[in-house]
Structure formats: structure tokens, C-alpha cells
Structure 1
Amino acid sequence: MRPFLMFMLLSLAFPVMAQIYKYTDADGNTAYSNQPPDGVAAQAVDLPPLNSVEPQPPSASPSEALSREQPHSAYEVLELTNLPTTEALRANNGTFTVSVMIKPRLQAPHLLRLLLDDQPYGQSSNVPILQLVNIDRGTHSLSAQVIDGENIVQQSPSVTFTVQRVHKP
């Protein structure tokens, strides 16, 4: 059985090592074949050696390699934008939006969460535009967190701002 198996494997390898011939057919077209045609001048074509790839030893999975190369806290930029810091924010009903600038893009399964006055605020989201509703007038601090489940991956610097609500009689 072993010699038969070896013969089969070798027979599969022979076509790979076959010679290629180039010739011009009766219509004047250039043609290639693995056998020289009868009655036509053909020249052997020298082919470059085949590319081969040596198998590499098994390595870590792509996610493990990514976590080694770029730790989860590797967001280059994480900051709040669209929030005035030198003047009062006028929001009569206390509702406004803030944007989170994050680079590179937020990676799954990470989510964004706001901290208003050092307390989690609202629903976590993967959208970098977040809305605050019915915020009391006065001075507040706000920051954004990147979270993975209950784990805090990274937190933006805190921004202090003042909400001004005008009450109409």
C-alpha cells in the first residue's frame, strides 16, 4: 500500500514540473502548451521557480496579538467637544448635546458613557454624540469614559461648564 501511495503522490507532482513550450499556430497566434506540437517550431520557456511559503509555528490568535500590540487604553484622543468652558451654556430646558472626539474609532465591544459630576449619566452608547436632558442650572463637571462591560478602559479629562436656564414668568 505504501509504494502505491508514494506513486500517486509523485504522479501529482510531475505535472507541476512539466516543461512549457511556446509556438505560433496556423493563424499566427502565439500559443503555449505542455507538449511541443507536431510539425511546428516550438521553443521551451524557462519559468521562474515557484514561490513557496514555509509554515510558521502556531502563534497567538489575532485578538491576542492585537491586545499585545495595542492595549485597550490606547485611544490616542478621547475628549469632549461642543461644550463651552469660558461662558455659560444657555439651555432653557437643560437639554443639550456633547460630542466625544475619539481616535482611533471606538472598537467593539467598547461603549461610551458620560460622567456628570463624577456619576454615570444616561445610557452607554457606541455613538459619539450624546444628549443630556434636564440638567440643573449651575456649574457641573463632565467627562467621557470608554467602557468594556463594567470595566473602565479609558477616561477623558473632566470639563467644567456652567448651565444657564432662564425661567420665563
Structure 2
Amino acid sequence: MGRGFLLILLLIALPAAAQIYKYTDAAGNTAYSNQPPDGVKAQAVELPPLNSVERQAPVDPPSPPAPQAQPGTLYEALELTGLPTEEALRANNGTFTVSVLIKPRLQAPHQLRLLLDDQPYGQPSNVPILQLVNIDRGEHRLAVQVINGENVIRQSPTVTFTVQRVHKP
């Protein structure tokens, strides 16, 4: 098997190593061939070496440096909207959404994380509309943080609100 494979490789490589000849045909045109024609004076052509490219390992472009802003200075505005502060929030099943006002837009890889009663709530997200589900009735505190991994970039002011739910006996 090894010798047969070697023979096949040699047969494939032979045309690449063949000699090229230059001559003038009967009509006076310059012609090239891999065999010198009979009865015609042919000149061997020295070909330059074949171009080859060595494969190089792919190089990842350098990642841009992370902004080194002080916490809170990257975003000029961050606040929760859509929560009533003067009256109770009526949510019979305890489910409601809040919106986040953020300027400028949230930058990658930053995410938004809600804090409900000073504890992280739900999964961090990059969407500025956040849903809360099955929140108990009563008074709560809610804030939103811009995070990068576990680092807090900025936190909104805390909003205190009351959830009103229908009590079914």
C-alpha cells in the first residue's frame, strides 16, 4: 500500500516537473510545448520556481481595550420608568414590566440587571424592557444596574412602589 501510494504521488508530480520547450512553428509563430517537435530546433525554457505560500496560523485581531471610565461616568442617564410612585401598581397576578431609560445606548458587553428589594432579580439582559413575575403585594424597592460581568458600572436611583393584588379567599 505504501509503495503504491508513493508511485501515485510521483506520477502526479511528474507533469509539474516536466521541461518546457520554446520553438518557432512553420508559420513563424513562437510556440511552447512539453515535448520538442521533430525536425525543429527547440530551446529549453528555464521557468522560475513555482510560487508557494506557507500556511500560517490564524492571528486573532487584538481586542480593543475596555474603556477605563470611572464607575457611573460611562452612562449619563440611567433610570427606571413605567412605575407609579404616587399610587399602587395594580397587578393582579403580580406580573408587570418596567422600562429602562439609558443614555447613551447600552454598550457591549454591558448588561442590565434588576435589583428587587436590594437583591438581584432574574437574569441580566441587554434589552431595556424588563419583566417581573409573581411579585408579592406590598411595598418594594427596585433599581437597575449596568454590569460588566460581576462589575457594577452604574446603578439607577432606587424607586419605591407598592404592588396591589386581588386577594382571593
In the other structure, the counterpart of 1:78 is 78
Unaligned 5+ runs, structure 2: 1-61
Sort the Cα spacing of 1:167 and 1:160 in 2 relative to 1 into closer, same or farther, 3 A: same
Determine whether 1:154 maps to 2:166. no
CA distance in 1, matches of 2:127, 2:71: 18
Task: Kindly provide the amino acid, as one letter, of the partner of residue 155 in structure 2.
Answer: Q
CA distance in 1, matches of 2:136, 2:63: 47
Task: Kindly provide the amino acid, as one letter, of the partner of residue 127 in structure 1.
Answer: V
**Residues 1-48 of structure 1: per-residue CA shift (max 9 Å, x gap):** xxxxxxxxxxxxxxxxxxxxxxxxxxxxxxxxxxxxxxxxxxxxxxxx
In the other structure, the counterpart of 1:118 is 118
In the other structure, the counterpart of 2:20 is none
CA distance in 1, matches of 2:108, 2:86: 35
In the other structure, the counterpart of 2:93 is 93
Please, what TM-score do these two structures have when normalized by structure 2?
0.59
Sort the Cα spacing of 1:62 and 1:150 in 2 relative to 1 into closer, same or farther, 3 A: closer
Query: Which deviates more, 159-168 or 137-146?
Result: 159-168
CA distance in 2, matches of 1:127, 1:67: 21
Which structure would you say has the larger Rg?
A: 2
**Residues 72-96 of structure 1: per-residue CA shift (max 9 Å, x gap):** 6310110000000110000000000
- Structure with a larger share of its residues in helix: 1
Unaligned 5+ runs, structure 1: 1-60
Q: CA deviation at 1:63?
A: 3.6
Query: Would the aligned equivalents of 2:71 and 2:152 in 1 still touch at CA under 8 Å?
Result: no
Q: CA deviation at 1:62?
A: 8.8
CA distance in 2, matches of 1:116, 1:67: 28
Q: CA deviation at 1:119?
A: 0.2
CA distance in 1, matches of 2:98, 2:88: 15
Runs of 4+ displaced beyond 6 Å: none
Please, what TM-score do these two structures have when normalized by structure 1?
0.59
CA distance in 2, matches of 1:125, 1:112: 5
Identity percentage of aligned residues: 75
Q: CA deviation at 1:166?
A: 1.0
**Residues 70-126 of structure 1: per-residue CA shift (max 9 Å, x gap):** 556310110000000110000000000000000000000000000000000001100
Determine whether 1:141 maps to 2:141. yes
In the other structure, the counterpart of 2:164 is 164
Sort the Cα spacing of 1:139 and 1:88 in 2 relative to 1 into closer, same or farther, 3 A: same
Matches within 5 A, 1:9-20: none
